């Protein structure tokens, strides 16, 4: 009897933080995982090593999601592992700075929008092309990673970033309705303050701890807690859910 073809999930921005946690959980759930990164080859390699050491299947693929041609190559690489079943659209940046919007350089604004908005769109476009039942695909699931920063807008810190994540929420809702008849579910997970390297990279490593008093549960999330929500939305238990924006925020 022929071996079953692996179900493949692509995780963009999978070299660290939430993306790495999603990749590891997905592998434990039985997916073959494509771990994408833009430049962090060492981090992506570490995620792959963690998966393979646990008996899973994974490959690291470098691709800048703001480049549509690179996104197409990323999906081509996924096809070599098995049948694409899911895409976790996690790649996102803040521009590695914290401050008022007037202090954000134009080049930083452009790069954040290119990755967080245009990159999300390019990945969603390619995912629909590959998953849609209309041209013969098998359907599947897309999870976009947003942020609860969209609620308050992150004044004084990351207004540009919060604005980009607001676009992700709208993209999710619109695309979910557009492709529901094509066998594709599109949902969004919106983490609150999460213990990742994002804050340290922007020069404020204690930012999550400083926000704890604003969170009803009194602490920031761990990446694996966000990953658990992602994997649930990918599962059959969430089979009638599409167009949802699920906050994972401790009540904030």
Torsions phi, psi for 159 (to 5 deg) = -60, -40
**81 within some domain:** yes
User: Which helix (H) or strand (E) is 32 found in, with range?
Assistant: strand 32-37
**2 within some domain:** no
3-state DSSP assignment of residue 245? strand
Please tell me the predicted confidence (pLDDT) of residue 127. Answer: 98
Cα separation, 123 vs 6, whole angstroms: 21
Cβ 54 vs Cβ 30: under 8 Å: no
Burial class (CB in 10 A: 0-12, 13-18, 19+), 128: buried
Cα separation, 233 vs 249, whole angstroms: 16
- Number of domains into which the chain is organized: 1
Q: Which residue has the tokens 């969430």?
A: 238
Please tell me the predicted confidence (pLDDT) of residue 3. Answer: 57
> Residue 147 belongs to what domain range?
7-248
**1 within some domain:** no
DSSP-derived pairing of the beta strands 7-11 and 83-89: parallel
Annotated active-site positions, please?
Answer: 161
Which candidate, 6, 67, 71, 84, places its Cα nearest to that of 36? Answer: 71
**221 within some domain:** yes
Q: Supply the CATH number for residue 89's domain.
A: 3.40.50.720
Please tell me the predicted confidence (pLDDT) of residue 1. Answer: 46
**118 within some domain:** yes
Please tell me the predicted confidence (pLDDT) of residue 5. Answer: 66
pLDDT tens sequence for the chain (252 residues): 445 668 999 999 999 999 999 999 999 999 999 999 999 999 999 999 999 999 999 999 999 999 999 999 999 999 999 999 999 999 999 998 889 999 999 999 999 999 999 999 999 999 999 999 999 999 999 999 999 999 989 999 999 999 999 999 999 999 999 999 999 999 999 998 887 766 666 666 777 777 778 888 899 889 999 999 999 999 999 999 999 999 999 888
**92 within some domain:** yes
Please tell me the predicted confidence (pLDDT) of residue 110. Answer: 98
**22 within some domain:** yes
């Amino acid at each position: 009897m022929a071996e079953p073809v692996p179900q493949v999930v692509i995780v963009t921005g999978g070299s660290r933080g939430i993306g790495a946690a999603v990749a590891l959980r997905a592998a434990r759930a039985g997916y073959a995982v494509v771990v994408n990164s833009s430049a962090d080859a060492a981090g992506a390699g570490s995620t792959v090593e963690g998966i393979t050491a646990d008996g899973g299947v994974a490959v690291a693929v470098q691709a800048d999601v703001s480049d549509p041609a690179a996104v197409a190559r990323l999906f081509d690489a996924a096809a070599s592992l098995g049948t694409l079943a899911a895409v976790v659209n996690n790649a996102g940046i803040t521009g590695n700075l914290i401050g008022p919007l007037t202090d954000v350089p134009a080049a930083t604004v452009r790069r954040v929008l290119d990755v967080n908005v245009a990159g999300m769109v390019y990945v969603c476009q390619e995912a629909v092309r590959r998953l849609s039942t209309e041209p013969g695909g098998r359907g599947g699931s897309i999870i976009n990673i947003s942020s609860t920063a969209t609620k308050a807008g992150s004044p004084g810190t990351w207004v540009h970033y919060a604005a980009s994540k607001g676009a992700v929420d709208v993209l999710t809702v619109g695309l979910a309705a557009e492709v529901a008849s094509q066998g594709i579910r599109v949902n969004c997970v919106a983490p609150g303050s999460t213990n990742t390297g994002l804050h340290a990279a922007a020069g404020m490593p204690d930012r999550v701890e400083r926000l704890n008093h604003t969170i009803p549960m009194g602490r920031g999330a761990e990446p694996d807690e966000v990953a658990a929500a992602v994997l649930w939305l990918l599962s059959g238990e969430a089979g009638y859910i599409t167009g949802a924006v699920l906050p994972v925020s401790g009540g904030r």
